[in-house]
Amino acid sequence: MAVDYLVIVVYLAGMLAMGWWGMRRARSKSEFLVAGRRLGPAMYSGTMAAIVLGGASTIGGVGLGYQYGLSGAWMVFTIGLGLLALSVFFSARIARLKVYTVSEMLDLRYGGGRAGVISGVVMWAYTLMLAVTSTIAYATIFDVLFDINRTLAIVLGGSIVVAYSTLGGMWSITLTDMVQFVVKTIGVLLLLLPIAVVKAGGFAAMKAELPTGYFDPLGIGGETIFTYVLIYTFGMLIGQDIWQRVFTARSDRTAKWGGTVAGTYCLAYALAGAVIGTAAKVLYPKLGSADDAFATIVKEELPVGVRGLVLAAALAAVMSTSSGALIACATVANNDIWSRLRGLAKAPSDDHDEVRGNRAFILLMGIAVIGTAIAIDDVVQALTVAYNLLVGGLLVPILGGLVWRRGTVYGALASVVVGGLAVIVLMATHGILANEPVYYGLLASLAAYLAVSLATPATDAAVLAAWRERLAGRSPELPSERVAAPQ
């Protein structure tokens, strides 16, 4: 294992070095939060794929393959479908808005700032829980690597992510995500996938060994697939962590086509995870937990060195999602909640102060994430709460604002409040993992949005005119934007 340890240590040291290098570039709010809006197609595609394919997609995706076979790909597959839908239909308009948060988009669309405050609280809760679930996953990986206890593993992994994210903001996260994308591609797709299939005897032996249901594309169940679409596909359309990456694109064309490449990559990653899990079922049919499949096949079947690289790939998957969720959480907390509570104008002050303030919030939110991750043990429940709140409370007013001119600020407020409360009540009465909270929460949100919007005066014409100018990309640059040549 000495070689494997060396691979992991070098990888972690590299992440910190990237953070230090990124700190030298992040000298304005724009550079710190959205990498100066300068990412080209290659970097944009890699970083977008890295953030959406986290520990749940890697370790959890293999676990679903172990439990259900090829149909276990559906969870990650719906993530890819959501990213494709976002890229093809919405990303160009989102990129042209030149904002930093989803709540700022709601303020521009509906006017008045009222919708943005409540949506900021909901989005903050979502990004916090998303960061927590990613941080919890460090316990599994570091237990396999170093046999250390859960709390120490969370503190170790979380501290590294908080360090490089705090140092350089989105520039550091972008650079580390590119490394993580390459490591995941080599470790999971090019090494673990073919080795797992060969060790299991090939596809013919796998089919002979396992029940036919393992090779049924719909074996996981139609209701489960539908729920995945509601939670993950729609969740990809509106999450602050995803939108903040869209804001990094240097053009709307980059956002559209770069995101399409990343979404397609996610579809391939989904199938790879399911196949690896199916192979693990052949090799180790009686594991205590399906989520142990990834660690077991890596530990038992891969040669020295390769094993270290694949474990680094799993670590990369967790770190990319964790860092993306962390900067999103801090951005919302500082720009959408704290600034409003202090009564600050949205026009930024000195760039240095803006960077320092956002850096402080990343550090603060990082400490909160590590503490919460230590206190919470159930990753699935935490992730479900996050996505239920996001989809049930924010999907309708966000997409409604993009596609329906008649939507009003009162309709948006009613949609967020009614949908969010419905989700919370139904999770309390039916259980956190039940399907009803997101089903009925989404329906309640839609009904409230339509009814209240139609019953209240239309949005002011001047607000809509300014909104259309933004969508068309004809508005002037924000005061905080530094004009720099694309690279």
Closest listed residue to residue 396, CA positions, set 110, 133, 130: 110
In this structure, are residues 419 and 389 in contact, taking their beta carbons and an 8 Å threshold?
A: no
Long-range contacts of 289-294 (CB under 8 A, 24+ apart): 289/63, 290/63, 290/64, 290/66, 290/67, 291/59, 291/60, 291/63, 291/140, 292/63, 293/62, 293/63, 293/65, 293/66, 294/58, 294/59, 294/62, 294/63
Angle between the N-to-C axes of helices 114-146 and 306-332, in degrees from 0 to 180, rounded to the nearest 10 = 160
Locate 428 and state its tokens.
């309390």
Structure tokens belonging to residue 4? 């494997």
Rounded to whole angstroms, the Cα distance separating 430 from 436 reads 7
* 202 in Cβ contact with 54 (< 8 Å): no
CA-wise closest residue to 93 among 246, 240, 238, 244: 246
pLDDT, residue 394, reads: 92
Gyration radius from the chain CA atoms: 22
DSSP symbols for 5-27? HHHHHHHHHHHHHHHHHHHTT--
Q: Rounded distance, CA 424 to CA 406, Å? A: 28
Q: What is the pLDDT of residue 484?
A: 43
Task: Pull the structure tokens for residue 374.
Answer: 């230590």
Please report, for the chain, how many H helices and E strands are present, in that order: 24, 0
- pLDDT for 343: 67
* The pLDDT of residue 292: 84
The model's pTM is 0.88
Closest of 413, 421, 398, 424 to residue 448, by C-alpha: 413
pLDDT tens digits in sequence order for the chain, 487 residues long: 677 778 878 888 888 888 788 777 777 888 899 988 999 999 999 999 988 888 778 888 999 999 999 999 999 999 999 999 999 999 998 999 888 999 889 988 998 666 667 888 889 988 998 888 888 877 767 766 677 788 888 898 889 899 989 988 998 888 888 988 998 899 999 999 999 999 999 999 999 999 999 999 999 999 999 989 988 999 899 989 999 999 999 999 999 999 999 999 999 999 999 999 999 999 999 888 888 888 889 888 888 888 888 888 888 888 888 898 999 999 999 988 888 777 654 444 445 477 888 999 999 999 999 999 888 776 667 778 888 888 998 999 999 999 999 999 999 999 999 999 999 999 999 988 888 999 999 999 999 999 999 999 999 999 999 999 888 877 655 555 544 444 3
Amino acid at 267: L
Q: Which two tokens stand for residue 19?
A: 């953070």
Cβ atoms of 219 and 68 closer than 8 Å: yes
Token pair belonging to 348: 């930024």
Distance from CA of residue 198 to its chain's centroid?
A: 32
Q: What pLDDT, on the 0 to 100 scale, is given for residue 476?
A: 58
Length of the chain measured in residues: 487
Please identify which residue in the block is written with the tokens 């808005």. Answer: 97
Residue 347 DSSP one-character state: S
H or E segment and range at residue 481: none
CA distance readout (Å), 51 to 95, 309, 348: 18, 19, 28
DSSP per residue, 24-70: TT--SHHHHHHGGG-B-HHHHHHHHHHHHS-HIIIIIHHHHHHHHGG
